[in-house]
Amino acid sequence: MKLLLRGARVVSGDSPQPVDADVLVEDGIIRAVGPGLPEAANDGARVLDMAGRLVMPAMFDAHVHFREPGFEAKEDIASGCAAAINGGVTGVVMMPNTKPALDSASVVRMVLDKAARVSPIKVFASGCITKGREGKEMAGIDGMRRLGVRMLTDDGDPVADPAVLFRAMQYGSEFGMFFASHCETPELAGPRAIHEGRVSYKLGIKGSPACSEEICMDRDIRLAHAVGAHVHIQHVSTALGAETIRMWKERGAKVTAEVAPHHLLFADEDIGDFDTALKMNPPLRTRADNEALLQALKDGVFDLIATDHAPHTPFEKAQDFVSAPNGITGLETALVSLHHHFIAKGVFGWDLLVNRYSTEPRRMMGLEPVPVEEGKAAEFIVFDPDKQTAFTTEFMRSKSRNTPFFGKTLKGQVEMVVLGDRILLERE
């Protein structure tokens, strides 16, 4: 494949403003990037007019639930990867809360083999910290490491026993593995349905207080700091949680953290009349938390943006608010929604998005970034900031529709996804 993109605006993590340039790709390699490439570059190439379009590194999501094995009615690896491509994502890390859980080399191998058969994008598996995610005994960590697992997590639940987590951190960190923490204090979390506050009182539902998350967060960072392990804090939802991470970073702890788009965009007051599309764990907090999380993202407290893509069937989400499962899909909506609500309004620039949703997630997983630069492998997307995306059944590739964006139209569109010598997505 030889592809020449004429008149594009190239986005990088080095500047909030795109740079005007042509991009030449041949045999999966970016051969040239610059304004006004010579006419000779047209020879044998498919030439596309990119006026008004942005060319940027493809995204990487370090927190997704593809539900396979065990819950394929919600999502499977093939449909999850199709959803990722639809949203401009070319690499993902699967969470291990499947059935059976990804707690041994045999289950991890099965998942990675399946991904190699059905997915054109890079799929990485995280491994459980404990057997069956039960929090009692360490999982088969070394066997999973030999298959390339770097992230260990019991995501969906915390490791309740600090002694078990401490020992696992001592063991896994010797092999260069790191630990991703779902922070929650079960004794405080209640039914895990909603933030404790004015809205929970109004709806008559027992809430989960912010301190349920914050107590566990501080505990897990303290344990990792004592061991010298790297701990990654998942889906931070509270203002004090962000400040806790800031404090530990200033103290020299090896801590990274992620924030999900929904915790930046929505608050508990948006739940309205028991809208289960806005039910997730950690729950939506307050507008003040939204603002604090956004500021922490801009300040660099959060290293990553990650969606926590968590599909569920319509039947499950049609239950009453307390009984309905927690989770929101995000792979297909993240890039467009962040553009619509933040970038298009000048809240932050493209450089922040590229760094937090492309470069840093890859670095955390031991991968090289994928800049749009001469000599680099082609792994980029074309984004049209002036077009619109309607999140309809026809558009979405995930098996599930549990997102508050379903039925909405937002500004911006992922127009093309290029990976190596393949065009994985191209819209007219």
Which stretch of DSSP H or E encloses residue 415? Answer: strand 409-419
Q: Is 349 left (phi over 0), alpha (psi -120 to 50) or beta?
A: beta
Residue 392 gets which letter from DSSP?
A: -
Is residue 154 among the annotated active site residues? no
Asked if residues 171 and 141 have their Cβ atoms less than 8 Å apart, the reply is: yes
Q: Which of 262, 268, 250, 229 is nearest to 334 (CA)?
A: 262
CB contact at 8 A, 30 and 374: yes
Peptide bond just before 96 cis, omega within 30 deg:
no
Q: Is the peptide bond before 385 cis (omega within 30 degrees of 0)?
A: no
- H/E segment holding residue 350: helix 350-354
Handedness of CA 82, 87, 91, 97 (dihedral sign): negative
Residue bearing tokens 């390699």: 29
Q: Strands across the sheet with 231-233, in order?
A: 151-152, 178-181, 231-233, 255-259, 304-305
What phi, psi does 229 have (nearest 5°)? -90, 160
Residues present in the chain in total: 428
> Phi-psi category of 252—alpha, beta or left, where left has phi over 0 and alpha has psi -120 to 50?
left
Largest CA distance in the chain: 69
Residue of 308, 320, 384, 386 marked catalytic: 308
Cross-strand pairs, 152: 127, 179
Q: Provide the annotated active-site residues.
A: 308
